[in-house]
């Protein structure tokens, strides 16, 4: 495990992980940006409150993406089934 230092919302954190350090820094940068966006949008300076609101924002984005993924998964399964049906009917007629 590698020790990786990141800064989020003015606080330095030493993280240990097996993931690529560049990836961990990207995640930390993403969280930092979300927290700064929340702070700008709300004017809140309390870091704990900003962190909770940022977590809720990130959670909302995750849920929206899960919903979109579910819809796309169903659409792709339906399209694949239609293609199989078409293929089967073509094979049967030849």
Least Cα distance to 21 among 43, 4, 38, 44 occurs for 4
- What's the mean pLDDT when you consider all of the chain? 94
pLDDT(40) > 90: yes
Report pLDDT for 89. Answer: 85
* pLDDT tens-digit readout, 3-29: 999 999 999 999 998 899 999 999 999
Q: What is the mean pLDDT of residues 75-92?
A: 91
Least Cα distance to 35 among 21, 64, 63, 56 occurs for 56
Q: Indicate if the alpha-carbon torsion angle 29, 9, 31, 16 is positive or negative.
A: positive
For 39-79, give the DSSP string: HHHH----HHHHHHHHHHHHHHHHHHHHHHHHHHHHHHHHH
Report pLDDT for 5. Answer: 96
* Count of other CB atoms within 10 angstroms of residue 34: 20
Do 21 and 2 form a contact (C-beta atoms < 8 A)?
A: yes
The model scores a pTM over 0.75: yes
């Amino acid at each position: 495990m590698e020790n990786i230092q990141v800064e989020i919302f003015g606080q330095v954190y030493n993280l240990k992980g097996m993931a690529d350090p560049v990836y961990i820094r990207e995640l930390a940068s993403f969280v930092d940006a979300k927290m700064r966006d929340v702070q700008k949008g709300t004017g809140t300076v309390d870091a704990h409150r900003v962190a909770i609101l940022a977590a809720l924002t990130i959670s909302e984005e995750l849920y929206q993406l899960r919903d979109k993924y579910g819809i796309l998964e169903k659409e792709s399964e339906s399209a694949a089934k239609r293609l199989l049906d078409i293929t089967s009917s073509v094979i049967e007629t030849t």
